[in-house]
Amino acid sequence: MHPALIFLFALIAILLLTAKFRLHPFLSLVLVSLFTGVLAGEPMGAVEAVTGGLGNVFSRFAIIITSGSIIGLLLQKTGGMSLIASDIMRFSRNPLLALTFLGFLFSVPMMCYILAYVIFIPIAKELATRLNYPPISTATALALGAVASFNLVYPSPVIISAAEELSANTNTLILLGFFIAVPTSTAGYLYARRLGKTETTRASEHDHQGQAQPEFSEITETPQKEGAGVVQEKGIEVQGKDGVQGKDGVQGRETGKPVRLEAYAPIFLPLFLILLRAGFEYPHPLFAFLGNPNVALLIGVLLSIFSGRALGFEMVRTLVEKAVRRSGVVLLDLCGGGALGATLAMTGAGEALGRFFLQINLPHILVPFLVAAALQTVQGSRVVTMLVAPSLLLPLVPELGLPAEILILAMASGTFMISHVNDPFFWIFGELAELEPSEVFMSNTLGGALMGVVSFLLVSGVYVFFY
């Protein structure tokens, strides 16, 4: 079978298995990987590619993903996250912009934009209640900020694997990714603000029609029950408002507010070490060791365990085990993506797709963007997209003639396109923000697509003017 047809089969099969039959993504990706190998006439080669792809992804991401999960959960339970969130809100005159910044700041250290959203959505809902904002606006500002940095900023899982595979210059990638992510997240903030104005206008029109209902019924009709402080969604716990609260209304802990240094250090020290290493072309061996993302995040884990000492050893141990289990689910999905990427690369499917785009005379910078957008739209996971896309395009890199950093960021721009029913975050976003699917399409899907276009235009501008 022709490689292009094999690629098409793989995309359709993944879409059916994940969206229609709701099969677990890991099983869907592995099964499709084996089937594509059989169609290519290389069943034993497919088995080797699948196992090799699984092992490659696990070795890259096991420490990073697990460390981010542990840091996030421990800081959430100790009140460190709430303290940092309160500080940001206190010094910001624009709550929506502060929520965007909050998501932007934490999704990379946690190595999971979904985790950043889950942790901070209670704060977004609290702000909606206090300031009479539409919940769709605050939730969108938080989510789009988290997605922007996760998709573009090294050492996010979206970026780091592609950087290694394509041998990109880490220093250049950090700078370009950050400076593209900032205006991209600003576009998300402006979209969230526009949503808020639209909802306010609709509510005002209803009031003028004489409807005797509050401006935002989602807020006023959800009173908190005594002791009902935890919402569970798909195995993820989210603190509600009825726990111990500080003066800013965010979740604290019974043992008192954490020391600021202990709250900030597990997140910002690893980032500092990574940036310090990247700042030298030939770093000192000590800086090279400490600035390795795996080592830096493990240091963050130790600091977060130290900050959680007031919770007691048994509680810390329980939380660490829970975080490890949660990260294991994420890692399985990523490993499945690695298996698919290795198999498609073996069959030559990605090269065939890329050559098709080249033959219809598209600008070369559009090719990685469209390949990533196609993968993202079909299978839903941004990290899986960036595990698969570089493997597909690797044979075409000399012909495309794009610098590795531009190639990576063009693909990363494609991962904003398009979140829908096969993306787990689509449902988590809507259910925790208490929105209908149509509202999730209007906020998360369209907002993400807008950021993808903005990001791609910025990457194209950088390429045209600086390369």
User: Locate tokens 């073996």: which residue?
Assistant: 346
Region class of 362: left (phi > 0), else alpha (psi between -120 and 50), else beta: beta
Least confident segment among 130-134, 158-162, 437-441, 462-466: 130-134
The identity of residue 231, as a single letter, is V
User: Locate tokens 């808020």: which residue?
Assistant: 196
- The answer for residues whose C-beta is within 8 angstroms of residue 62's C-beta and 6 or more apart is 331
| pLDDT for 245 beyond 50 | no
Peptide bond connecting 418 to the previous residue in cis, omega within 30 degrees of 0: yes
Least confident segment among 16-25, 69-78, 217-226: 217-226
Closest CA to 73 of 332, 273, 267, 299: 267
- The answer for residues whose C-beta is within 8 angstroms of residue 183's C-beta and 6 or more apart is 454, 458
> What tokens appear for 203 in the block?
């509510």
Q: What is the mean pLDDT of the chain?
A: 81
Asked if residue 235 belongs to a domain, the reply is: no
| pLDDT for 170 beyond 80 | yes
> What tokens appear for 80 in the block?
């460190």
Asked if residue 84 belongs to a domain, the reply is: yes
| pLDDT for 227 beyond 50 | no
Beta bridge partners of 232: 237
The string of DSSP letters for 103-117 reads HHHHTTTTT-HHHHH
| pLDDT for 421 beyond 70 | no
pTM of the model: 0.69
Residue 383 contacts residue 426 (beta carbons within 8 Å)? no
Give the domain extent around 113: 3-203+246-466
CA distances to 117, 127, 230, 311, 432 from 237, rounded to whole Å, are 12, 20, 6, 18, 11
Q: What integer pLDDT is reported at residue 230 of this predicted model?
A: 38
Average pLDDT value for residue range 208-212 = 50
Q: How confident is the model at residue 226 (pLDDT cuts 50, 70, 90)?
A: very low
Asked if residue 224 belongs to a domain, the reply is: no
Asked if residue 153 belongs to a domain, the reply is: yes
Residue with the larger pLDDT of the pair 235 and 64: 64
Q: What integer pLDDT is reported at residue 256 of this predicted model?
A: 57
- Measured N-to-C along each axis, helices 43-78 and 313-347 cross at an angle, to the nearest 10 degrees, of 150
Q: What integer pLDDT is reported at residue 220 of this predicted model?
A: 33
Asked if residue 220 belongs to a domain, the reply is: no
Distance separating alpha carbons of residues 31 and 36, to the nearest angstrom = 9
Percent of the chain exceeding pLDDT 70 equals: 86
The most confident of the ranges 6-15, 171-180, 367-376 is: 171-180
| pLDDT for 406 beyond 60 | yes
Number of domains in the chain: 1
Asked if residue 229 belongs to a domain, the reply is: no
Q: How confident is the model at residue 42 (pLDDT cuts 50, 70, 90)?
A: confident
The DSSP code for 208 is H
Q: Which helix (H) or strand (E) holds 231?
A: strand 230-233
Residue 95 contacts residue 89 (beta carbons within 8 Å)? yes
Average pLDDT value for residue range 296-320 = 92
- The answer for residues whose C-beta is within 8 angstroms of residue 116's C-beta and 6 or more apart is 72, 102, 103, 106, 107, 110, 146, 150
Q: What integer pLDDT is reported at residue 392 of this predicted model?
A: 81
Asked if residue 232 belongs to a domain, the reply is: no
Average pLDDT value for residue range 128-149 = 90
Asked if residue 446 belongs to a domain, the reply is: yes
| pLDDT for 418 beyond 80 | yes
CA distances to 220, 298, 317, 348 from 196, rounded to whole Å, are 17, 40, 42, 47
